Chains A and B, each alone.
Chain A
């Protein structure tokens, strides 16, 4: 088996059994990256020297018998995670030369376990996009079909896992940015409950929706990664102080008697027939495994995309105000302060980011605030209530992740509205603040992966992982490899 195709648990066993050293594994990963990166473009910044140094220290730790499950495992991070001393761009020109003086809590936790950092992954600029095409550092291609997008905004995180460029990665999900690319690239992607993972040191897009999560090759890896990064962080007031279960230990619980809801609003006429087929097959699989299905309704689903584009852009317009050229990031030459602001931001931000800053500024403006922002918050509450009411009768929900498999590069870039609609099934989960996972569940005739989404109750990640694991045991979608 290729080292670069291994899962975390496989590589961990190999390291523990001394069949392999972390330096060897890391060297193999770096070679793989060198080989396929020209076709995929997952990375913005590679850190090979750092990786080999980290791997060498991991090997010492392994030799001392002090290895954790992530010790010596080569990982990569979406370039939205601050990494001390390593450039962090967030996919934007405005942070082209930004070297952070501190690291994100989630990365600190992985590093403490001895994980090895291969580099920083490409993404839509400031996590705004569904195709990775809004990055200032070039596009990322889908490893299953390089004429297609990998999804976004954590496109690099998904493509790297699918192309064997990292054993696992971290992404962020504000409206589907982990799940949609995971679906398009055939990986497992989990968006935890809001507050489950610290946001400290993660560049903010929309603070009330952003959440950190893993992208992995299988559900067991996903459980390992989530267990490592979850938990209360005193530096993030919105992180919740709830105990972190041992996700790995309970994976094999099974789904017998599990009540799965099928929200009718997610199985609509416009759904791609191949996606529908994959969903039907998945439902059948779960039924065979002993799960029960319940038809449910989330009546305010139709308003989710509009609500999201008011709340997310409003928060973004404020979050992105700090990129003013004064203290860090890109600064344009100008003769007065106002021009400096204007030129720095106009040169530093791309079109999609500017569009969202303008939308959000408008939504918060005096005279429009009540009609847009306040109204959107009210609808958000209704959407949340939809989920809570439905969860009174079901344990999880099953839906598609995206209406279609990955689309062609350039296909939607000039049609923002079409682009926004590709997140129609993932956005409501962020608005409700609950957790959801994308699992490989089939392929299109053209060979593109199709994902299924399992939505859980708040802090119900354990159930999601159990359900995902059970599905994986009887399907082979997750073990297929992209040929690149």
Chain B
């Protein structure tokens, strides 16, 4: 029998606010344990939450960018459960009436039709703290609680079970990742858990319309693992059904070392969270004006920008996609074009030399030592024939190292291209004289030797000879 996998994703997006969602403590990562805490995020008796407006603004932006409706009156709810990293014994989240509802993203998997993935809801909530095991400086070997992360703002983005393969899931996830990083509301760091995902996976017989029983897979923190976890889980469920078993509703944990999932808790062991509206927070009322203001403030989103790059600048869709993989990269590209560079050439250089250099040195595009203006200037030097494309790579390396302008490097190092045919002819004559045997071979019909001569001329001119002039002159001289 053939099976149809059905997947829905719940994505946690940690927001890049300076302070926590319900208090004024810093959200900075990596501080001394419990140094960024106060009565509110410690859950001390008598402490009360006060909503950080920035979180609401970020949530509205995320909602508008994923085609959601913004709920005019949304509520915070308490999700009750006991755990040592949860100081109040409940998490403040949203349950009924979340801030964003009924959105969608259009995704496209290579070679397939565009497909609409519905987003059920986006809600705001606070993160829990972190348990620290076996690293305590104090006596004993117990576990410690670090509440620096407690009360850090999160968005949870919940999709409908509209995804049908691990590839679709990854494309959807990447697109969402791109949007939240593009908006500047999340740093997107999956290793540090700033962007993490739970996957609900089930399978049903192909052609059926009745969904199978789902398993929720937790702890999936890279795109690669999402694919791996979903594929493993699909395989596990199909095998189970083929062997006459039934899938049980449960929560499973993904183990990145083995690439498998294992049962964490069954439906029976699932918590009853006893959600109810948090009486410490008043309903959040968002006016139409507020929504409109947020809409005005939205940056041009990746999809819109891609369209402009292909339609106005003549890039291929592929190039446009690569150049909009982050907002900073797209900004860099556009600045280069604005500085007078040829769009196609700027794009190629960014995707080639720049990306390579960034990767080699572990530098982000924001910190790129070569400015877009300098890159455009370099490409202009090629265009007007001052330097060859090959020399440009040498110049680029020097620009990267020294931060100097291409013009000054070319001048200082005497790299100006030699196009003067007299000078080049002289070099050619010398080389032909020194390699009479090869000249004979060429004239005897062995045309491959041509390359040898080009190489020799370039070498003798230290790469500065204009290649097309070299070609032209060599050809006529060799032909005799």
Contacts and interface: CB of A to CB of B under 8 A. Distances in A.
B205 interface: no
A471 to B, nearest CB: 34
Interface in A217-273: 234-238
Interface stretch (A176-184, A318-326, A383-391, A472-480): A318-326
A322 B272 CA distance: 17
Interface string A358-388: 0001001110010001000000000000000
A407 interface: no
A451 B2 CA distance: 78
Interface residues of A toward B: which range?
35 or more
Interface in B168-194: none
Given A324-B82, A327-B43, A327-B87, A318 B48 contact: no
B22 to A, nearest CB: 9
Contacts, number: 97
Given A204-B46, A318-B89, A326-B145, 7 more contacts: A98-B45, A104-B46, A200-B46, A237-B49, A238-B281, A318-B78, A326-B87
B440 interface: no
Interface residues of B, number: 28
A396 interface: no
Interface in B50-101: 50-51, 78, 80, 82, 84, 87-90
A237 B48 contact: yes
B139 interface: no
Given A327-B145, A361-B274, A364-B276, A322 B84 contact: no
Contacts of A315: 276, 279
A252 B51 CA distance: 41
Contacts of A57: none
B132 interface: no
A463 to B, nearest CB: 26
Interface in A50-92: 82, 88, 90
B282 A200 contact: no
12 contacts: A88-B45, A199-B48, A200-B48, A234-B50, A235-B48, A237-B281, A318-B89, A321-B80, A326-B87, A341-B82, A365-B272, A373-B276
A98 B282 CA distance: 29
A204 B49 contact: no
B375 to A, nearest CB: 49
B298 interface: no
B272 A328 contact: no
Contact of B42 (A235, A238, A327): A327
Given A237-B281, A315-B279, A322-B87, A366 B272 contact: yes
Contacts of B282: 237-238
Nearest to A328: B44
B46 A318 contact: no
Interface in A179-216: 199-204, 206-208
B43 A100 contact: no
A366 B271 CA distance: 10
A90 B45 CA distance: 10
B45 A235 contact: no
Contacts of B45: 82, 88, 90, 95, 98, 100, 203-204, 322
B249 to A, nearest CB: 15
B96 to A, nearest CB: 10
A159 interface: no
B314 interface: no
A322 B50 contact: no
A201 B89 contact: no
Nearest to A362: B274
A364 B80 contact: yes
A315 B80 CA distance: 11
B86 to A, nearest CB: 9
B239 interface: no
A446 interface: no
Please give me the 5 A-B residue pairs with the lowest Cβ-Cβ distance, nearest first: A321-B89, A208-B279, A364-B274, A207-B279, A201-B46
A201 B39 CA distance: 9
A250 to B, nearest CB: 29
B48 A236 contact: yes
B301 interface: no
B82 A82 contact: no
B47 interface: yes
B46 A203 contact: yes
A101 interface: yes
A321 B43 CA distance: 10
Contact of A369 (B50, B276, B279, B281): B276
Contacts of A365: 272, 274
A82 to B, nearest CB: 5
Contact of B88 (A200, A317, A322): A322
B280 interface: yes
Interface string B351-383: 000000000000000000000000000000000
Contacts of B80: 317-318, 321, 364
Nearest to B51: A237
Interface in A93-107: 95, 98, 100-102, 104
Contacts of A361: 274
A459 to B, nearest CB: 16
Contact of B89 (A95, A324, A369): A324
A369 B274 contact: yes
Residue among B44, B51, B275 with most chain A CB within 10 A:
B44
B116 to A, nearest CB: 33
A198 B335 CA distance: 53
A369 B82 CA distance: 19
A321 B88 contact: yes
A321 B280 contact: no
A342 to B, nearest CB: 10
A314 interface: yes
B261 to A, nearest CB: 25
A392 interface: no
A1 interface: no
